[in-house]
Structure 1
Amino acid sequence: MSGRVLLTRPGERGEVLARTLEESGFVTAALDVLRFEPVALSDVGRAALLDLDRFHGVIVVSPQAATCLAEAIASYWPQLPQRLRFYAVGEATAEKLHTELGVPAVIPSRTSGEHSEALLEVASLRAVAGKRMLLARGESGRELLLERLRERGANIEVLALYRRRYRTPSPLATEWLKHGDFAALVVTSGEILQHLVTWCGPVALNQPLIVSSPRLATLAGTLGFGSPHMASSASPAALDAEIRAVLDPRSATFDQGDHEKG
């Protein structure tokens, strides 16, 4: 049995997670099944950006959304409107907003986790009746935020900034998933989990699956995963801690020949 930990987080954040785990002694392999693709703003999206100063807040769901939002805002606003409050699902998104736009962001408390449910517990998002809010995201996803805030009376508009392109795992990764040839699988997105289950054989379905929210743990059970383990958040440190709690890195062995093939 291989000691590799399979990662599904794309791009720069995936690289940060890989480095964190490798520093703890794990060998990682990126499945590379998701790419982000920018989309042209719709007429509704352009109107929302032109009206940015009339929103009470902007909710940003991911670092990718933060980057795309900053680029879009720069086309319409040389200087950001004053008193506009930003919300971020987690610390990585908040950091990206600060880097790209120079703004602070409200995030969930560290004890709550980094997911939609935790952000919805923020006090200022519990009293949003009559407020106009902008949700910066991809073409889909984070439906819970949209539904709950509308239920609370917010006038919330969606700004779609990118789309997700899912890819078939490589032939080698397909074999890993088919035979359960890995020590753990790390997934922090429901859409990625639903995409990957197609290739997971019976052994893979019972290997440790590390997720980052109660919603994902529930979805994992629904999809047939038999060993989900929930990290306290989606941060690299929290995921690393959960993997270390599940796997002893000293017992993780890895075949160098497999590494070279991957």
Structure 2
Amino acid sequence: MSAWRLLLTRPAEECVALAAALSDVGIHSASVPLLAIEPLSETAEQRAAMLELDRYCAVVVVSKPAARLGLARLKRYWPQPPAGQAWFSVGAATGAILKEHGLNAYWPDVGDDSEALLALPRLAEALDVTSPRVLILRGEGGRELIAETLHQRGVLVDKLELYRRYLPDYPPGILAQTLRSERLNAVVVSSGQGLQSLRELAGSDWTALRELPLFVPSPRVAEMATTLGAKIIVDCRGAGTAALLAALREHPEPAS
């Protein structure tokens, strides 16, 4: 049995899957989902983007919710997706959803963050056309680094915001109570917005919570955690289960 006892904060459905994977390797966890998903209504501009999907040399999908909601719209407008179009995902789990739909999906072998995707040679190949244009499927306000970097590379970028994440309503002190009752000794966040929700929900309990090891998905979120005063930050270099398990193996376990 591992000495790690983790607080999970992903959306509820993802917490269930992650908790099961952790349990399989002897790691106890408890969940306080800090991000709930609410689909957004389709706008006229978004409908136009989907109807003209074949004008994009690549489609980038940044998350599993974006993949599921985007595929629902794809089925509505494109029973047969544009032939040969390249689809890209930030991580393997999102990419698997796209592959299951029969799309030409690609993602980094190492690292499941924006930086790894932007360094992917297959993405550079897809963009090597006259007047490259990319559609990004994402949540409200998500992953600006991808859009900004592509724009700097001379790519015309359109964004399709399919959902918003929000902090569920919890009673005061829920984090501290869960940490105590479950005897947790580390916290896992999967995004910058998740970290912001953690800080917001913690309130005055943040002073104690920030002393625990904090597992984050990328250097960007690690920098945010540093700014917020977290004391022990572990960059998993990815938000997926495999990245977290690797980071847990590499970081010394707390004393029992």
Please state how far the C-alpha of 1:246 moved relative to its aligned partner.
3.1
Q: TM-score, normalised by structure 2?
A: 0.88
- Contact kept, 8 Å, 1:20 with 1:240, in 2: the verdict is no
2:143 maps to 1:145: no
2:227 maps to 1:222: yes
Q: Which sections of structure 1, spanning at least 5 residues, go unmatched?
A: 253-262
Please state how far the C-alpha of 1:195 moved relative to its aligned partner.
1.4
1:209: which partner in 2?
A: 214
Root mean square deviation of aligned Cα: 2.3
Question: Which whole-Å CA distance do the structure 1 matches of 2:175 and 2:18 have between them?
Answer: 22
Question: Which whole-Å CA distance do the structure 2 matches of 1:24 and 1:169 have between them?
Answer: 30
Partner-residue secondary structure (3-state), 2:234: strand
Question: Which whole-Å CA distance do the structure 2 matches of 1:3 and 1:92 have between them?
Answer: 24
Identity %: 38
Q: What are the equivalent positions in structure 2 for 1:107-256 lying under 5 Å apart?
A: 107-110=107-110, 113-126=111-124, 128=127, 130-171=131-172, 173-176=174-177, 182-198=184-200, 199=202, 200-246=205-251, 248=253, 252=256
Partner-residue secondary structure (3-state), 1:59: strand
Question: Which whole-Å CA distance do the structure 1 matches of 2:252 and 2:168 have between them?
Answer: 28
2:27 maps to 1:26: yes
Q: Which sections of structure 2, spanning at least 5 residues, go unmatched?
A: none
2:39 maps to 1:53: no
Q: 1:153 to 1:177 in 2, by over 3 A?
A: farther
Q: Deviations over 1:21-78 (max 9, x none)?
A: 1122222111122111111111111110010111101000011111001101111112
Question: Which whole-Å CA distance do the structure 1 matches of 2:196 and 2:41 have between them?
Answer: 26
Question: Which whole-Å CA distance do the structure 2 matches of 1:30 and 1:133 have between them?
Answer: 36
Aligned length: 247
- Contact kept, 8 Å, 1:179 with 1:203, in 2: the verdict is no
Aligned partner of 1:195: which letter?
S
